[in-house]
Homo-oligomer: A and B are copies of this chain.
Amino acid sequence: MTALAPETLDLLRQVSTATLTSQLLKVAGLRTRSPLDIRPLNPAKSKFVGPAVTLRYGPLREDLEKSMANMAAAENPTRRAIEESAPGSVIMIDTGGNITGGAVGDILAARMIYRGIAGLVTDGAMRDAGPLMAMDLPVHARVFTPPPHTASTLAIGYNETISCGGTLVFPGDIVVGDEDGVVVIPRHLADKVAVSGLEQEQVEAYIKRRVDLGEPIAGFYPASERTMADYRAWVAAGKPEIKVAVLF
């Protein structure tokens, strides 16, 4: 697995998922890097950054419920994801969009927190909303629902390439979450978009300040040559406080 630059995860913490999707489109032509139709179940605890560990859940076969849903077995995929993942990992669960059962509840979430899991993402459901909303685990999913996932699904794959909400995910891809949702960065692009994404954030903070003050968007946003020249002049000037829309 490609090594990341040491500062990459910290840089990514300062970049929004919106900006990262824009960068992935711009630098690599990638259009589908954000799982569709999921949301932070607690927007106030939506942010995380970390490498993906994957799980795949398939439909139940009733005669296998006892054997395959048994977390006492060392090879159980859910158990492996929880117990073998490096601290800082993000667990991503491909359920094929199944919301008939909650993929994870409060006790497994508690164990994930103890083991230092950075975040949990699934295109399915979660359960135990009551306690979970008070716990320190960022979770992005479709909905909450009471039933256990073992009533309708079986864990059938650990750390494979998966689809999550229509996004291809390789183990080790860098996953970022915030209030908007989730972006999955191909690992070899993480260093690059961390830097270019942070640059975009800084330029857009500058743009936003001027737009707030009355700058029209035409020729100014999305960032034009003129915008970038203004921005660089403002940076060169030591980033003075902006008090009017048309600064330079």
Q: Point out residues on A near B: beta carbons under 8 Å.
A: 16-18, 20-22, 25, 28-34, 36-37, 39, 43, 58-64, 71-72, 74, 79, 82-83, 96-97, 99-100, 102, 105-108, 110-111, 113-114, 127-131, 133, 143-148, 150-152, 154, 156-157, 160-163, 166-168, 178-183, 186, 204, 207-208, 211-214, 216-219, 221-222, 224
Contact = CB atoms under 8 A, between A and B. Distances in A.
Nearest to A31: B151
A28 B144 contact: no
B145 A62 contact: no
18 contacts: A16-B146, A18-B105, A18-B128, A18-B148, A21-B146, A21-B151, A32-B61, A32-B100, A36-B145, A59-B163, A59-B167, A60-B168, A71-B221, A72-B218, A107-B207, A107-B217, A133-B179, A156-B160
A105 B207 CA distance: 13
A143 B37 contact: yes
A120 B34 CA distance: 24
Nearest to A82: B217
Which of A30, A61, A160, A162 has the most chain B CB atoms inside 10 A of its CB? A61
